[in-house]
């Protein structure tokens, strides 16, 4: 039974980590290198993350700079950014690629908040699915007579407490992200 609870908690943690990764890719009007995490560059026939072929940094809150280590990579990095759905325009001066992050409009901020809510709801569904699976494991343990009915109920209560805690954590992460998105 302890193993089932431990496994459930590990899976719930993974759902929260996944939510954090999704949030990191949401643009908030502030420059962050994680905006480019999903962008892959066709580098000598291999799709490669930008940060593996270039130095990526944020010199200020409105600019991302990319300095490829290979001169031939400038054009492919530029093309990959333009093809991505980020809506960003890179400026290549031959030495460095600069990406200006435009300020967000009120309407775009509201849209991003909706997307953040969608990601949060998906994380909550994942947490609830883990709860359901863990409860199924407990029912099977009881039917195999490995645990008593009291132990099953106690285990289900613990799983529910875990679920409530992780749902609260997703709500807290959403509140923090919404505040960040709506900040001007």
Query: What letter does residue 95 receive in the DSSP assignment?
Result: S
Residue 111 has a pLDDT of: 84
**pTM for this predicted structure:** 0.70
pLDDT tens for residues 90-120? 898 888 999 988 777 888 888 888 889 999 9
pLDDT tens for residues 53-88? 999 999 988 899 999 998 888 888 998 988 886 777
Q: What average pLDDT does this structure show over 139-157?
A: 89
Beta-carbon contacts of residue 65 (< 8 Å; ≥ 6 apart):
56, 57, 58, 59, 96, 97, 98, 99
Strand positions, DSSP E, 29-84: 40-43, 46-49, 54-60, 63-68
Tell me the average pLDDT of the chain: 88
* CA 51 from centre of chain: 17
Least confidently predicted of 24-28, 46-50, 141-145: 24-28
Check pLDDT > 70 for residue 1: yes
Check pLDDT > 70 for residue 46: yes
Residue 184 has a pLDDT of: 64
């Amino acid at each position: 039974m302890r193993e089932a609870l431990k496994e459930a908690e590990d899976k719930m943690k993974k759902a929260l980590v996944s939510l954090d990764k999704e949030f990191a890719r949401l643009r908030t009007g502030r420059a962050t290198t994680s905006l480019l995490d999903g962008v892959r560059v066709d580098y000598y026939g291999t799709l490669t993350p930008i940060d593996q072929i270039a130095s990526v940094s944020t010199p200020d809150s409105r600019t991302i700079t990319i300095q490829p280590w290979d001169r031939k990579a400038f054009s492919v990095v530029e093309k990959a950014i333009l093809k991505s759905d980020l809506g960003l325009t890179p400026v290549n001066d031959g030495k460095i690629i600069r990406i200006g992050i435009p300020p967000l409009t009120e309407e775009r901020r509201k849209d991003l908040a909706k997307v953040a809510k969608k990601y949060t709801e998906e994380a909550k569904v994942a947490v609830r699915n883990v709860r359901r699976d863990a409860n199924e494991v407990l029912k099977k343990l009881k039917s195999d007579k490995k645990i008593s009915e009291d132990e099953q109920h106690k285990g289900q209560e613990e799983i529910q407490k875990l679920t409530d805690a992780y749902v609260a954590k997703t709500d807290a992460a959403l509140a923090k992200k919404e505040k960040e998105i709506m900040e001007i």
